């Protein structure tokens, strides 16, 4: 199925949605994207796996990167797409095929941008990080992601969301001593001791640091708890898994030190981390985007792939037409007027306010 990148952006969104691309099965959509982009001589197109990168090479003083993932979560009886009033329903409409459609329209029609542009369409964002296409490009072809500023077309309700929170998961272990439950005084109940861990979590007051003018809200929560040996045994271990969402004023090392400090006296094993990303809104390209878009600006409360750009030294924001609270839901939809609004705002930034796209 071919993609018409000159068609109305809502129609293009529907066409992209109707090409099923659950994580790991993006090949058909990547094929369609590659074929469509190669039709435009102003773009240099490369393919790596199911990742497609298209670039302008005009020798501009700045380069910006627009990126979006091609995959979706598993279907839930929500294909093919359908229109109801001003809403387009279907798997991936909000997360994030409407954003991909905006980027593809811009790739096809912004022929003389004021900045060079790299468009990145990548696989496997919705599953384990080891499969993430942007991660693979950063490791194997970092030159394809080079730029002065990046916009990740994640769903933000057409608001600019700067940077992202980091995330850390850790197992906090309470230790006891086994005994027969009929003689409980001869042991030490680790599950009871774990109550002290829960007391720490209940007493936690979230920090709300301001980073580059945006207020983030941190979070520290229990997400799993496990313990117990048998119905007649006093348990000698209880593990509480906690998730710490931290603002971009902390590194991963600082976040880990904080968690270890707050659970001082307990064994803490960090099992997973992902860096936060600063908004970088003071960079000239970022400031120009904020000024020309007219969109509201807020902190990103969650983790996104902007962190991968941050690790490459590229400041990045999230911006897309989808509504984030609808992502991954059965009745996922995108408001059609917001798709066109996002396209026009991006076009104004990339072309300059006096130019009008096709």
Contact 66, 287 (CB under 8 A): no
Q: Catalytic site residues?
A: 71, 125
Q: Is residue 136 part of a domain?
A: yes
The SS3 call for residue 326 is helix
pLDDT at position 1, please?
59
Taking 90 as the threshold, does the pLDDT of residue 128 lie above it? Answer: no
Please indicate, yes or no, whether residues 45 and 130 belong to a single structural domain of this protein.
Answer: yes
- pLDDT, average across residues 318-345: 95
pLDDT top residue among 311 and 267 = 267
Strands (E), the chain: 44-48, 51-55, 63-69, 82-84, 87-89, 116-122, 149-152, 160-162, 166-175, 179-180, 210-211, 214-215, 219-227, 233-234, 237-246, 267-274, 297-299, 316-318, 333-335
Residue 312's CATH number: 3.40.630.10
Taking 70 as the threshold, does the pLDDT of residue 357 lie above it? Answer: no
The total of structural domains in the chain comes to: 2
Q: Is residue 121 part of a domain?
A: yes
Torsion of CA 258, 263, 269, 272, to 10 degrees: -40
List, for residues 160-190, the tens digit of each pLDDT value: 999 999 999 999 999 999 999 999 999 999 9
DSSP assignments along 254-280, one per residue = HHHHHHHHHTTTSEEEEEEEE--B---
Q: Is residue 79 part of a domain?
A: yes
Please indicate, yes or no, whether residues 76 and 184 belong to a single structural domain of this protein.
Answer: no
Please indicate, yes or no, whether residues 253 and 232 belong to a single structural domain of this protein.
Answer: yes
pLDDT at position 358, please?
39
pLDDT at position 284, please?
84
Task: Give this prediction's pTM.
Answer: 0.86
Partner residues linked to 83 by β-bridges: 88
Q: Is residue 123 part of a domain?
A: yes
Domain of residue 119: give its range.
9-164+277-351
CA 9 to chain centre: 22
List, for residues 231-283, the tens digit of each pLDDT value: 999 999 999 999 999 999 999 999 999 999 999 999 999 999 989 998 878 88
Contact 136, 49 (CB under 8 A): yes
Of 274, 291, 317, the domain-final residue: 274
Both structure tokens of 21: 């691309």
- pLDDT, average across residues 303-310: 91
Taking 70 as the threshold, does the pLDDT of residue 130 lie above it? Answer: yes
Residue 202's CATH number: 3.30.70.360
């Amino acid at each position: 199925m071919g993609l018409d990148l000159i068609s109305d952006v809502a129609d293009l969104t529907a066409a992209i949605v109707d090409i099923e691309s659950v994580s790991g099965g993006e090949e058909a959509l990547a094929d369609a994207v590659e074929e469509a982009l190669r039709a435009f001589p102003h773009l240099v197109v490369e393919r790596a796996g199911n990742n497609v990168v298209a670039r302008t090479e005009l020798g501009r003083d700045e380069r910006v990167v627009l990126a979006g993932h091609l995959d979706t979560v598993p279907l839930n009886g929500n294909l093919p797409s359908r229109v109801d009033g001003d809403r387009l329903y279907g798997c991936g409409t909000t997360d994030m095929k409407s954003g991909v459609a905006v980027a593809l329209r811009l790739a096809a029609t912004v022929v003389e941008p004021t900045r060079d542009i790299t468009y990145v369409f990548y696989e496997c964002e919705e599953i384990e990080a080891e499969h993430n296409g942007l991660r693979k490009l950063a490791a194997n072809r970092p030159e394809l992601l080079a730029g002065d500023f990046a916009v990740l077309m994640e769903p933000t309700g057409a608001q600019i969301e700067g940077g992202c929170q980091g995330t850390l998961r850790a197992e906090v272990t309470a230790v006891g001593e086994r005994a027969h439950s009929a003689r409980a005084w001869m042991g030490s109940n680790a599950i009871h001791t774990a109550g002290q861990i829960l007391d720490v979590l209940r007493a936690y007051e979230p920090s709300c640091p301001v980073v580059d003018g945006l207020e983030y809200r941190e979070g520290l929560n229990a997400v799993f708890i496990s313990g117990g040996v048998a119905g007649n045994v006093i348990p000698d271990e209880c593990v509480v898994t906690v998730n710490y969402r931290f603002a971009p004023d902390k590194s991963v090392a600082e976040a880990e030190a904080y968690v270890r400090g707050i659970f001082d006296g307990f064994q803490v094993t960090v099992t997973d981390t992902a860096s936060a990303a600063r908004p970088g809104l003071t960079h000239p390209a970022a400031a120009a985007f904020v000024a020309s878009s007219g969109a509201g600006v807020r902190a990103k409360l969650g983790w996104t792939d902007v962190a991968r750009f941050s690790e490459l030294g590229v400041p990045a924001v999230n911006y897309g037409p989808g509504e984030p609270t609808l992502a991954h839901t059965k009745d996922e939809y995108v408001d059609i007027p917001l798709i066109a609004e996002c396209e026009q705002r991006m076009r104004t930034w990339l072309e300059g306010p006096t130019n009008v796209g096709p």
